[in-house]
Amino acid sequence: MRGLRIGHLMESDGPGGSERMLTHLVRAQEAQGAECVVVVPSGGEGWLGQNLAGTGAMVRDVPMVGVPPLRCLPMLVRAFRTARVQLLHSHEFNMAVYGAVVARRLRIPHVITMHGSRYYADTLRRTLLLRVAVSLGGQLVAVSERLAGHLRHDLHLRASSVYTIPNGIPPVARVESTLRDELGLDNDARLLLAVGNLYPVKGHRHLIEALGLLRRQGRDVHAAIAGRGGEEESLRALAVSVGVADRIHLLGLRSDIGNLLHGTDIFVMPSLSEGLPIALLEAMHAGCTIVASDVGEMSIALDHGRAGRVVAPGDSGQLAAVLDELLAAPAEMTRLSSRAAARATAEYDVSRMATRYGEVYARLLGGQHPG
């Protein structure tokens, strides 16, 4: 990696899962001697720049939102040409399409990473555009094998055309959590935690419904949800309707994830669709007891139930039953948390992810010395 100038193209700079993955990857690449330039749309929050401060990486913004492609693409070409990047790495659908054209114009290798789920297949137009982007050359990468399978099927690609590189993160530092004190919980109360923006696809309503079932069974259980989004009012209304308004704590956007993870009894990820979410990997690295939906790569990450329990997506009753079972079995919770931490270290470390991307880069560059 030493001396290689990498351009990353991201469609937002807010605190989402793909943006968090990118910060981990760029930090690792800079530590290995690469020089990274991250280009994001103008008018964003500045989150990526703040989180990459001090790494040596450069974050540049280009007008993209609401700008016609014929005006936007030349600006992207200039930005990466000025930075003298030798390889372009695009993230998600929109940037995959833009990046394919830019890389072609600059005559440099192109890597596309698709995160999340099959949203790119919402329309035939989007599917065809992604197929064209891939056909212009480079390497298509999926963060999960399930997503890789969808890409091969939807885009009519050979098996070798899609490479799977699971996300990886650094270890989560152990801290003395202040979360329970913040929420005013006594020692007998049990605390569940979910981390994810307040969108329907994150399935938070099923956690709230499960909490209502647990309360009717006499369990003193609270749930905290860290994230922001348009579902806040509807989630509060649902909590009132199932009788847990005093037990649901919407924390908003939080940066102290380690503090939250080390203050919970069980980490819950009730998503209806995912790839390989960073929040799940953070919970694994923190040694949490985990219950997650069987979507995307989550069951594989949890070793098919051996490093955390897996439930059907959208099934509030099953979620409540599994949570009730675990809360009554502290020894099982300890066993699962230990296995989750060990699996995270072995399979989902940031250095492993960076090394695998480095191998893809080297192959596309034809073994040339990046200097």
Enumerate the domain spans of the chain.
Answer: 5-170+349-364, 179-347
Comparing CA positions, the residue from 347, 322, 362, 370 lying closest to residue 168 is: 347
Alpha helices in 3-123 (DSSP H): 17-31, 47-51, 69-82, 93-106
Please name the amino acid found at residue 299.
S
Give the tokens for residue 244. Answer: 């847990």
Q: Provide the whole-model pTM.
A: 0.84
**What architecture does CATH give domain 5-170+349-364?**
3-Layer(aba) Sandwich (3.40)
Please name the amino acid found at residue 248.
I
* Alpha-carbon gap, residue 205 to 213, rounded angstroms: 13
Q: Which pLDDT belongs to residue 271?
A: 96
Largest Cα–Cα distance of the chain, in whole Å?
65
Q: Which pLDDT belongs to residue 13?
A: 87
Q: Which pLDDT belongs to residue 369?
A: 39
Taking residue 119's Cβ as centre, other Cβ atoms within 10 Å add up to: 13
Q: Which parts of the chain sit beneath pLDDT 50?
A: 368-371
Residue 179 near residue 259 (C-beta atoms within 8 A): yes
Q: Which pLDDT belongs to residue 14?
A: 83
Radius of gyration of the chain, Cα coordinates, nearest whole angstrom: 21
Q: Which pLDDT belongs to residue 370?
A: 38
Comparing CA positions, the residue from 120, 105, 99, 109 lying closest to residue 38 is: 99
Q: Which pLDDT belongs to residue 367?
A: 56
Q: Do 179-347 and 5-170+349-364 have the same topology in CATH?
A: yes
Q: Which pLDDT belongs to residue 296?
A: 85
Class of domain 179-347: alpha beta
* Alpha-carbon gap, residue 214 to 229, rounded angstroms: 26
